[in-house]
Amino acid sequence: MDSEALRKFSALHPRPAGLTLHYGTAGFRSAAQHLDHVVFRMGILAALRSKAVTATIGIMVTASHNPEEDNGVKLVDPLGEMLHPSWEEYATQLANAEEQELQKVITEICQKAAVNLHKDASVFIGRDTRPSSKKLSQSVIDGIQVLGGQYHDYGLVTTPQLHYMVCCQNTQGQYGKATLEGYYEKLSKAFMELIKQSHCSGEFQRHLKIDCANGVGALKLSEMKPYFPQEVLFHIYNDGTKEKLNHLCGADFVKVHQKPPGGLDMKPSERCCSFDGDADRIVYYYKDTAGHFHLIDGDKIATLISIFLKELLAKVKQDFKMAVVQTAYANGNSTRYLQETLKVPVHCVKTGVKHLHHKAQEFDVGVYFEANGHGTVLFSKAAETKIRQLVKEEKDNEKREAAKMLENMIDLINQTVGDAVSDMLVIEAILALKGLSVQQWDALYTDLPNRLLKVQVADRRVIDTTDAERRALTPPGLQEKIDALVKKYKLSRAFVRPSGTEDVVRIYAEADTQENADALAHEVSLAVFHLAGGKGAPPQP
């Protein structure tokens, strides 16, 4: 390692005094002006990780659904998955090291992770449309170059596109071509193949209004448009030409506020969807004829996809194990519908995409979505091989057709990570193939009324949970109190969990009516305030 180069470059990216940041599920996120030293050092870490695993690593500059003034950075592992947990710790150590300790920390990481500095390093870089992203990605390049690494800068891409490129590169093209054209071609071809098999020829099916959160999704969808025939009518709103990123729009805004985004004029029964700022989440919604807003979140997206896949799997008559993975935030009625009506096993895991992804890998077909609209489907290697073999060799027409549809679904789904563009195409194809309107999809089951609250506490670590965050172990007495409160209401449940990013405790409650869900959430928030060291004034109803 060239210590002179490290000293010289590090001086160009000084660490502000007193700033400590932690690498979490979303990588690092903060106000953009605090991140220059962090992204420079993550350039170094990406090169180290690449040398350690002798593969290409991705690095994405984005803060997803955060306000435009923020930014962030996260690393992508060789198969397009999130950074290995042991390296999250190294990321935090490196980001917070004092200037003069930098070389020592790098050497320690090399020893712990058995990094051979003489090996080559290769890093793919992507960024979102924030004003600060271009300069920050230049700082990433400085970090990579300190260790003599090679890099390919893809410039403006969605987060899932970068995950896709990294996976393509490290599978020597087996997963696809590591170019944007390769991504557009693979997805559009699979989509058109599926649509071909649809018998429904209504214009109503093809119209879709898309809120792109004034983010990178708008640019990439526009680039993808020529790959689709005329009859596919995707109308792009909030394309970033007029308003600020994520301001009063995007998937997070729509989900949290339960109302349509600004900048999109909705007529009754029109199908609409929203991406978030870096296009890795999607939610659907519509207005009914009475003008009421209806949200279709990640739970209902997982349900639609599960119905479709289960039917196809039944037709190919293979003994594939299928399951849906949810978190405690999934609506109780979605879980009931999947288990009781669809007869699909449901597994609950801790909040955070990495936990869902990890669990979904245990099945031949693992569907996972968070309620916020982030999710995908994973197919085991064995299931994929068998399906592709059936397409080639199966004599029975119905079986072969079903296998062909499954093969196209495998190609249409971005299995590396939740991808708003890919998920949207999957949903549109299923709606067309099943001849379903957005209202019919919504009517599969009715969500139980629910309420999300948060309570400020002095230290979020006083709350410890178990059973996939559904029960509190500490502080003493809190879970007993929650159990007693839940008993007062019908079809109710509630849980509390510490935030991963700030000193607040998040509370979720659901019950048979909105009034009861609100009352339960408030009573639980008071219990948290009194038993877990609440700050400021007690929560008001």
* Number of structural domains in the chain: 4
**What are the residues whose beta carbons fall under 8 Å from the beta carbon of 92, sequence distance 6 or more?**
21, 22, 23
| Residue 26: predicted pLDDT | 87
Q: Is residue 178 part of a domain?
A: no
263 is an annotated ligand-binding site residue: no
371 is an annotated ligand-binding site residue: yes
Q: Is residue 319 part of a domain?
A: yes
What is the rounded distance in angstroms from the CA atom of residue 338 to the CA atom of residue 389? Answer: 29
| Residue 171: predicted pLDDT | 97
* Sheet with 365-369, side-by-side order of all strands: 346-349, 322-327, 365-369, 375-379
| Residue 232: predicted pLDDT | 81
DSSP 170-187: HTTTSS--SSHHHHHHHH
Contact between 494 and 508 under an 8 Å Cβ cutoff? The reply is yes
50 is an annotated ligand-binding site residue: no
Q: Are residues 118 and 48 in the same domain?
A: yes
| Residue 203: predicted pLDDT | 45
| Residue 501: predicted pLDDT | 67
What is the rounded distance in angstroms from the CA atom of residue 375 to the CA atom of residue 199? Answer: 28
370 is an annotated ligand-binding site residue: yes
CATH number at residue 267: 3.40.120
Which range marks the domain in which residue 247 is found?
A: 183-296
- Which residues are known catalytic residues? 64
| Residue 18: predicted pLDDT | 87
278 is an annotated ligand-binding site residue: yes
CATH number at residue 86: 3.40.120.10
| Residue 229: predicted pLDDT | 82
* Residue whose C-alpha is closest to residue 524's, from 479, 475, 469, 459: 479
Q: Are residues 304 and 244 in the same domain?
A: no
497 is an annotated ligand-binding site residue: yes
The residue among 267, 296, 325 that closes a domain is 296
CATH number at residue 482: 3.30.310.50
Q: Are residues 336 and 398 in the same domain?
A: yes
* Residue whose C-alpha is closest to residue 236's, from 221, 254, 215: 221
Q: Are residues 223 and 302 in the same domain?
A: no
- List, for residues 79-130, the tens digit of each pLDDT value: 999 999 999 999 999 999 999 999 999 999 999 999 999 999 999 999 999 9
Low-confidence residues in the chain, pLDDT < 70: 199-205, 501
499 is an annotated ligand-binding site residue: yes
| Residue 204: predicted pLDDT | 40
Q: Is residue 356 part of a domain?
A: yes
Q: Are residues 333 and 458 in the same domain?
A: no
What is the rounded distance in angstroms from the CA atom of residue 209 to the CA atom of residue 104? Answer: 53
DSSP state of 240: S
506 is an annotated ligand-binding site residue: yes
